[in-house]
Amino acid sequence: MNRRPSVVILCPQEFKFTDHEATVERPFLRDVADLKTVWLGYNAPFPDEVLDADALILWHGPQVTEQVVARMKNCRAIIRNGVGFDSVDIAAAARAGIPVCNVPDYGTEEVADHAMALTLALYRQLFPLDAEAKQLGWKINVAAKMRRLRGQTFGIVGLGRIGTAAALRAKAFGFRVVFHDPYVPVGTHKAVGVERMASLEELLRTADTVSIHCPLNDETRGMIGAPQVAQMKRGSFLVNTARGDVVQKQPVFEALRSGHLGGAGLDVVEAEPLRTAEEAATPNLIVTCHAAFCSPEGMVEMRSTSASIARAAVLGQPVWNRVN
């Protein structure tokens, strides 16, 4: 008897995923595979129903290590339900002949919008003004910190899909836009209408706002540390909507306390979430809950793409968005 393929959606146990019936994914898969959602603790061993799956749709959290990959004998694809894929040992999967795919474009608009929202909140001092107004004040105590956007330099680290979307938004607000990304083709700056910086150091010295839009990997982990923060202009802003571990948080928090940085807008933080009341009390800091990707439209788009890739995998068809 032929075995019916199985697709498992793997969620971290703490993730409040309310769609237990997988109503977005099921229409793509019901005629070709059994579909099940499994919740797993971050360091918990993978159960057989996950290891035996023909395709794995992976939310953030559980780590697919080399040891896990070695036990996935039926797997035809691991699909990261999102942009980042640092939770999967992609080299081990490649050696095992398992494609690892992601969904790189589902949250492009949302994350670029969020980066600009954080930037605008810093430039226009929205949160201090909100707090003052709610205390029945009307002195505009932060007037000296409020800035005109036009003519300021918006520096982008990583000109991929989201970085490009952020660049176009920043241009619309009147920023001079510069970027550093050693991996985009020559001439990209002409196509997008921005300026290319030869090095990260040049961008840090030039920009009034530095916005991070690169993936997390061995090259970028901890890339923005104390030396890089020191190179940034005094009073400049740092925005991160990429991955928390790209930016070392302690040098940033120290620079905010000393006044070297004028503010930071972080949707992601190193070793998230914030760990102490002292971190949370850092001045001129805006933190959101790794939520830049969120919107109902984006979630449906992401989950539909993952389910489509899983369908192709179990049918033996070519998959796309492969990262290994």
Tell me if residue 243 is catalytic.
yes
SS3 324: coil
- For 58, phi then psi, to 5°, come to -110, 115
Distance, CA of 95 to CA of 93 (rounded, Å): 5
Task: Determine the length of the chain.
Answer: 324
Distance, CA of 188 to CA of 123 (rounded, Å): 28
- 195-196: strand order across its sheet: 195-196, 176-180, 153-157, 209-212, 236-240, 261-266, 285-287
The residue from 195, 202, 254, 272 that is catalytic is 272
Q: Is 228 exposed, middle or buried (0-12, 13-18, 19+ CB in 10 A)?
A: buried
The residue from 147, 257, 290, 322 that is catalytic is 290
The residue from 189, 243, 303, 311 that is catalytic is 243
SS3 58: strand
Contact 155, 204 (CB under 8 A): yes
Longest CA–CA span in the chain (Å) reads 78
Tell me if residue 290 is catalytic.
yes
Q: Where are the beta strands (DSSP E) in 102-224?
A: 153-157, 176-180, 195-196, 209-212
Report the 10 Å Cβ neighbour count for 236: 24
- Residue 232 contacts by C-beta under 8 Å, 6 or more apart in sequence? 204, 205, 207, 210, 238, 255, 260, 261
Q: Which residues are catalytic?
A: 243, 272, 290
